Amino acid sequence: MNLALLVVLAIVVVGTIAVISYLMDKKRRERLMQYAVMRGWTYAAEDNSLVGRWQGEPFGRGDHQRAQNVLTGSESGRRFTAFDYSYQTHSTDSKGNRSTTTHHWTVCAVPMPAWLGVVQVVPESVFERMAGAVGLMQDIDLESEDFNRRYRVTAGNPKLASDLLPPRTMEHLLTVDVGGWRTCGGDMVGFREGRLDPLELIKTAAVLGRVLDGVPAFVWKDAGAPGTEYSPGP
């Protein structure tokens, strides 16, 4: 087989993969758009103003950060913004070959009644559990051992983390799988690896809403929320 034929074959394979990938992305976008219309949400193909809106995982990593397939709307009386977030990282092997990896995340942000300090709750890996146990990594322990084993809680103010996670909220978080979430400025931001799935999005928005509903009224009052008490969603 001569070299020219190999090159042609390679071009055909790469081209086919590119076309299939494009068509799959197009189909997915159309499905998201249809779903948005059906639920009364709005859809935008891309809104990169969202890329720099929040700090912490998964934002601020790599380059070529993009916010695509942006869905905004309301679920169970609670507003949300959700989108596909991606960024690229690069590595070079020992032979000098540079490779690029695109990382895909799903982000869902729900506005809070007031700005709070940062509290982050993420599923805990075995390594993180061990590091937390010997004090090498912050992991705020609460009264539920099951919760402590499943999630790693970090916060600038541990009391705020405790206030945000009363027993009922912890119990609920043990029954669902929503990835990680963090209070970030005036929003509660849920994030997980993978691409946006509308059904997962509804579930995530509901869980974040439930966490917010469980926050004691005095937390919002101390944070200067408008009105004396926060009125939870229906």
Interacting residues toward other proteins by CB under 8 A: 134-135, 141-143, 158-159, 162-163, 166, 216-218, 221
Q: Which pair of structure tokens corresponds to residue 100?
A: 């690029």
Rounded least distance, CB 163 to other proteins, Å = 5
Residue 33, judged by CB atoms within 10 A of its CB (0-12, 13-18, 19+), counts as middle
Contact 161, 131 (CB under 8 A): no
CA distance 196 to 30: 13
Choice between 106 and 169, CB closer to other proteins? 169
Choice between 96 and 135, CB closer to other proteins? 135
Rounded least distance, CB 143 to other proteins, Å = 5
Choice between 50 and 153, CB closer to other proteins? 153
Choice between 63 and 145, CB closer to other proteins? 145
- Residue 44 one-letter amino acid: A
Contact 180, 108 (CB under 8 A): no
Rounded least distance, CB 225 to other proteins, Å = 14
Choice between 186 and 216, CB closer to other proteins? 216
Rounded least distance, CB 112 to other proteins, Å = 18
Choice between 195 and 221, CB closer to other proteins? 221
Rounded least distance, CB 158 to other proteins, Å = 7
Measured between alpha carbons, how far is residue 56 from residues 94, 146, 211, 216 in Å? 31, 25, 20, 25
Choice between 25 and 229, CB closer to other proteins? 229
CA distance 46 to 32: 13
Rounded least distance, CB 114 to other proteins, Å = 16
- Cβ count near 185 (within 10 Å): 16
Rounded least distance, CB 136 to other proteins, Å = 8
CA distance 120 to 155: 6
In this structure, the strands spanning 151-155 and 119-123 are antiparallel
- The single-letter DSSP state of residue 107 is E
Measured between alpha carbons, how far is residue 103 from residues 45, 88, 106 in Å? 18, 6, 10
